[in-house]
Amino acid sequence: MSGAWSTSPSRRSWWPIEVRSPSGYSGPARSWASAPWRSTRSRTRARCTGRKQMKPTSLAAASPRCRPICISQTSSRWPRKTMWTQCTLATGSCQSERTLPKPAKMPGSGSSGRAQRWSARWEIRWRPGPSPSLQELEENYTRAYSEALAAFGNGALFVEKFIEKPRHIEVQILGDQYGNILHLYERDCSIQRRHQKVVEIAPAAHLDPQLRTRLTGDSVKLAKQVGYENAGTVEFLVDKHGKHYFIEVNSRLQVEHTVTEEITDVDLVHAQIHVAEGRSLPDLGLRQENIRINGCAIQCRVTTEDPSRSFQPDTGRIEVFRSGEGMGIRLDNASAFQGAVISPHYDSLLVKVIAHGKDHPTAATKMSRALAEFRVRGVKTNIPFLQNVLNNQQFLAGTVDTQFIDENPELFQLRPAQNRAQKLLHYLGHVMVNGPTTPIPVKANPSPTDPIVPGVPIGPPPAGFRDILLREGPEGFARAVRNHQGLLLMDTTFRDAHQSLLATRVRTHDLKKIAPYVAHNFSKLFSIENWGGATFDVAMRFLYECPWRRLQELRELIPNIPFQMLLRGANAVGYTNYPDNVVFKFCEVAKENGMDVFRVFDSLNYLPNLLLGMEAAGSAGGVVEAAISYTGDVADPTRTKYSLQYYMDLAEELVRAGTHILCIKDMAGLLKPLACTMLVNSLRDRFPDLPLHIHTHDTSGAGVAAMLASAQAGADVVDVASDSMSGMTSQPSMGALVACTRGTPLDTGVPLERVFDYSEYWEGARGLYAAFDCTATMKSGNSDVYENEIPGGQYTNLHFQAHSMGLGSKFKEVKKAYVEANQMLGDLIKVTPSSKIVGDLAQFMVQNGLSRAEAEAQAEELSFPRSVVEFLQGYIGIPHGGFPEPFRSKVLKDLPRVEGRPGASLPPMDLQALEKELTERHGEEVTPEDVLSAAIYPDVFAHFKDFTATFGPLDSLNTRLFLQGPKIAEEFEVELERGKTLHIKALAVSDLNRAGQRQVFFELNGQLRCILVKDTQAMKEMHFHPKALKDVKGQIGAPMPGKVIDIKVEAGAKVAKGQPLCVLSAMKMETVVTSPMEGTVRKVHVTKDMTLEGDDLILEIE
């Protein structure tokens, strides 16, 4: 029974809070009288302390020292005799018997020898609280009695003793038609969840032999008393003092009968069939003296329930079913097989697993091993929970009671199943049906051949500059760089080169292949740039990789060369400002994961943002490389805004702030040789002991010349990329710099022949990313960069964006508009995110056919991209020379403005609360790295986690399979880890079914696997979105193709002119669609996350 008043000496009081009936009704105690319960066929129940006929009386007459224990209602139909239960109220030493109102006459007895009944029972649950008065008790009693009497014509109630933390012990009995009754010993069913048995054990561990004798003896006596026939179970509760209390008789063969069969070697199913045929137990060779206990047996019920969600039943199709077997393991299957559909309308039991051993620990070990061998995919199961139970020390000691699960919350600390093979098949099937999961700018197939990986010698790589850094710290490292004879190189191939040429799409899989070669052959490099910038969010957003994992794995493979990252000042690796504690924590964790040099820049050279990033990197223990973003032309006296003096003054501030290294970051490749000479000479004269690092892009083709001029003027380090990943919008060629300086005082010490092998690998690897290669739309660099000043990384992306938006033929106009947009915004320093702002405005102008003059004239009415509006509000800082007026005032109107450093006004982020939130959402261990990813990119990280929970581990797939999937009949291998390799063959893809799905068939390690995949294109073709009619006033269409990420209004809302209606996003560009008129929203035609084409109808205003 659930519920009671305590009878302990502490006199703790309990109060009823909920009533339950077998029909499923559950509600507060005050609603007993209206409970919609009914009679249900249930198990045989015999609660009796005698058979005395009950007489009506009032509970108010009970002794004031008597306290009620528990109330339940039942009606029963018993064979041969009608038995009534008297009510006993007891506390401590006081006992007082009071009878309850007489029930109606019970139905007649059933057929001889068959214990049957109809039962309906109230259960009253209690919580601690003030003792109820007798009047309240009587009122509650009267309600229960009245309801039972009205429903059944029988108001009989039971009052039962509350037993604290009992064991649930049941005895298996077997009877025949001739009065023979025997027992087959007991089972311990104490491990229960919500009074439902989970694990059963036979015999009960550490059960006193005398108690066992009493339990089995009482069970046989009870069965003989009623003339019991066939198999049944007599259930008891045993308290901590060894006293047993009868609960009920179940007049059937129970689910857990298997453990009894295992220890007694008696086939109960076989026996009850023969008893039903009229045979006697002796005829079957069953005599009590022959029944012996042999070892121990444990049964676990494997169900399709999710323990992490309060054992919520899970439904679906079983994609994989493999059971654990072996000596001592018995399986009783239900609906467990591959392809079975688990319906919500049936029991969740899949299979009963029974382990038999010589003793309890042995049986538990066998069970644990068997459960570990199970593989059930497609639906969730309770196996992880059962494994925790089996490994629990209290369980292994055999000292469990009915509160075992409630008192061991660690049982719910579930280890998630990896399910790697099935997740991979799901991904491959999805790609085969729906195409690549990452957006493809152009239609080009990956190279069919894998790149050639050059060999490396056995043993650790030679010492490099990182050894100096680890030994002498950032200051000693900076001194070593400045004192180095010759020119040092930073290799950007692992980040900026592929960000500029391949849309940042190079995967960790391909970086890891070449990493050992770099470690062994390029130990003289100053650093490898392999992290930060756009690689952080692209890894999660498009490659479905953890960027932190990339850093960790590369650090293991390249221990000797410093790693360098690009830090966007107060923006960390994001596109907006974050609370200061997030930036500091990010740098700290990055350093812990292997980052060494932090190149800190700000897109506007806004000093407060720069200083925050420098402080964060320095406090983390990293090498601080403060970067001045370069634009204009210091050699052109007519370009006065960004003059040589401007750069010298800014450098002075950064050196005063304590930078270890000073960098000139030329994002667009605007540095000409003469400008390099002037700028570097001036910096070297002003700061003779400070290492100088020069970065450029080769868009114009003059990159090598510019870097040689910088080196000759006194630069210590210049940036290069592998030959096959250099040129155009990337960095200058590594081979060219190595060859041009060989034998000179600037000799790099890098072996040229090793550069050739390195380039050969990347030439092959680049072919895998043909769909992202800038050469698909660009055939060469362009010197017009000196005019439009588009950064190298953005040049490629802008070109792809223009093609994706149908502006490919108008890219020249886009570049011209970029110049005009830059001037409209006040001639900005252009690097992420300021370059994105200029690019968004340029594309907006081309898309809408606006010149600079027209855009400025209509600024009050136009819906400018969100990035432009937020820049003018001051969300990324204050540009050199201030904001453009009156353009700013026209666009912003009454919108708020940010003064000073944007992040300074942000309160600290509660990272511990975020970690807790992530743990609750994703249900697994959350790392500090995960917390920071979510803090900087909350939506991207959430999608990444959801995606990888369904698909993966994708890093084990080669790039061609990742992007394109396998061809039919193609066979391939996937190495999950060392020693675990999957052999996969793609077999077929079925036709579309009515649910819009296709079956994809694979052969995995020789076994057939079938995956159901929703055909997203077919689903899309079933729906046609209406277009906005330009001649119908009030129809608002999408100004650009994109995805709806936010809807600001709903049908019936009043809107004003200029009020935001929704937000669209395409290729990282967000646009707020505003209302061109006042009115009322008549209908909204879009939903969040819907993908729209240009002019698709968003909503109607009247």
Catalytic residue numbers read 252
Q: Measured between alpha carbons, how far is 663 from 715 in angstroms, rounded to an integer?
A: 10
Q: Measured between alpha carbons, how far is 87 from 90 in angstroms, rounded to an integer?
A: 10
**Do the beta carbons of residue 568 and residue 531 sit within 8 Å?**
no
Q: Measured between alpha carbons, how far is 580 from 572 in angstroms, rounded to an integer?
A: 10
Q: Measured between alpha carbons, how far is 858 from 891 in angstroms, rounded to an integer?
A: 9
Phi, psi of 1029 (to 5 degrees): -90, 120
Residue with tokens 């937000």: 1063
Dihedral over Cα of 683, 688, 692, 698: its sign: positive
**Do the beta carbons of residue 637 and residue 645 sit within 8 Å?**
no
Q: Measured between alpha carbons, how far is 58 from 51 in angstroms, rounded to an integer?
A: 20
DSSP 61: G
H-assigned helices in 559-643: 580-592, 607-619
**In sequence order, which residues have a C-beta less than 8 Å from that of residue 975 and are 6 or more positions away?**
956, 981, 982
Three-state DSSP class for residue 935: helix
The region that residue 311 occupies, defined by phi over 0 for left and psi between -120 and 50 for alpha, beta otherwise, is left
How far lies 429's CA from each of 437, 539, 544, 987, in Å?
Answer: 11, 22, 17, 11
Q: Is the preceding omega at residue 203 within 30 degrees of 0, hence cis? A: yes
Count other C-beta atoms under 10 Å from residue 122's C-beta. Answer: 25
Tokens found for residue 462:
């030679």
How far lies 100's CA from each of 120, 159, 615, in Å?
Answer: 18, 10, 80
Tokens found for residue 987:
């077999």
Q: Measured between alpha carbons, how far is 651 from 769 in angstroms, rounded to an integer?
A: 39
Q: Measured between alpha carbons, how far is 153 from 889 in angstroms, rounded to an integer?
A: 82
Tokens found for residue 27:
């509600």
Tokens found for residue 477:
């490292």
Q: Measured between alpha carbons, how far is 963 from 967 in angstroms, rounded to an integer?
A: 12
**In sequence order, which residues have a C-beta less than 8 Å from that of residue 136 and are 6 or more positions away?**
none
**Do the beta carbons of residue 805 and residue 1066 sit within 8 Å?**
yes
Count other C-beta atoms under 10 Å from residue 972's C-beta. Answer: 16
Phi, psi of 51 (to 5 degrees): -125, 30
How far lies 405's CA from each of 192, 240, 360, 364, 825, in Å?
Answer: 7, 18, 19, 17, 65
Which of 198, 192, 191, 196 lies closest to 394, judged by CA? 191
Tokens found for residue 743:
């034998």
Tokens found for residue 995:
């649910």
Give the chain's count of helices (H) and strands (E): 32, 43
Q: Measured between alpha carbons, how far is 343 from 313 in angstroms, rounded to an integer?
A: 10
Tokens found for residue 729:
């919008």
H-assigned helices in 129-256: 134-152, 209-225
